[in-house]
Amino acid sequence: MKIKKTYSFAFFTSLYITLITTITLFLSVYFVLDTVFSFTYMLLFIVIVFSFTFIITQFRLEKFIYQRIKKIYDSVSILDKSDFNKTSITSDLATLSREVEKFAENKQQQIKKLNLRESYRREFLGNISHELKTPLFTVQGYLLTLADGAMNDKKIGPKYLNRANKGVERLIAIVKDLDLISKLEAADLNLNKQPFNIINLIQDVFELLEMKAKKRNISLIFNKPYKFPIMVIGDVERIEQVLTNLLVNSIKYGKIDGTTVVTVTQHKKGKISIKIADNGEGIKKEHQARLFERFYRVDQSRSREQGGSGLGLSIVKHIIEAHNEKITLKSEFGKGSEFSFTMEKLEKPEI
């Protein structure tokens, strides 16, 4: 039988000690007492010496290694003792070394993830404070100017009140979006799923955003005429919010005199894919992985000029994931972007 590698050190150590002891004893008896050991006694002696030596060596090694490794675990507070208890003690130093390296690698990955989360947390706090600070200071500035006497000016008074109101509306929008994201992340938002015609919903959003698109002379169109309904299952209000946020983004960052095209296709059995593509400025690769993060902006200055809470795409992602669906992005800088997400299809009627 092949000897376990975990006992190899104790085995060979015991073998060497047994051989040396046996040879020494044999030579001593032969030369000093001038007699010879019988083969049976010699074999019995070898078995006894080897067995005791092996057991004592293995026991001492395990205790030696265990005690020292335990001290290492005790001295490093970040290590979890429960991880140590799950690992079997071995006297094979190569195996032990691999186990320690594996453990250290896992802990390094955990530390890296914690550092990354901490970095995101600091960035998020910085972003949210900036997002709230800007409209707050704007509102405060206009109100202080009005309080200093501008209220009595018939031209300036109404204009400043209107601007202060816009600042308050932006604050309300940010707070509402944050509340929505908190509910989505905590799975505390009840979706009212029901069958609806996705074509009609997209057309309604087109009409809602018609004036906004006209300001940049951007056309909102389907890729082809859809003569028959395409029925999907989902929360109509939330999916309308998804479509609105994606189309508003395409208008904000689309090319003037450009086009935003919506395509509805069969994704796979039981699924429908909705694609929203524009021929705008596109998104660089280094920004794409973080585009759905809260308050993440590709161009800080331009994004804030365009308005919005900075939470639109994050809300979109959470709503789609709450439907157990996926959203993806394809973009090439300078050529445009395409956002696509899936929806559960109502089997009848079919496309």
Q: For 332-345, how does the pLDDT look when each residue is reduced to its tens digit (9 = 90+)? A: 888 889 999 999 99
Given phi > 0 = left and psi -120 to 50 = alpha, else beta, which region is 257? left
Distance in angstroms (rounded) separating the CA atoms of residues 309 and 215:
21
**Can you give the pLDDT at residue 302?**
45
- Listed as own residue / partner, the contacts of 281-284 with beta carbons closer than 8 Å and 24 or more positions apart are 281/253, 281/255, 281/333, 281/334, 281/336, 282/331, 282/332, 282/333, 282/334, 282/335, 282/336, 282/337, 283/329, 283/331, 283/333, 283/337, 284/333
| pLDDT (tens digit per residue) in 92-129 | 555 656 666 777 788 788 888 777 777 766 766 666 67
Other Cβ atoms closer than 10 A to 10: 22
Across the range 12-36, mean pLDDT stands at 71
Say which residue, 93 or 154, is predicted with more confidence.
154
| pLDDT (tens digit per residue) in 187-218 | 667 888 999 999 999 999 999 999 989 999 99
**Can you give the pLDDT at residue 350?**
46
Across the range 60-76, mean pLDDT stands at 65
Q: Are 143 and 280 in contact (CB under 8 A)?
A: no
**Can you give the pLDDT at residue 178?**
77
**Can you give the pLDDT at residue 95?**
61
Q: Are 282 and 337 in contact (CB under 8 A)?
A: yes
Q: What six digits make up the tokens of 293? A: 């993060």
Across the range 238-260, mean pLDDT stands at 90
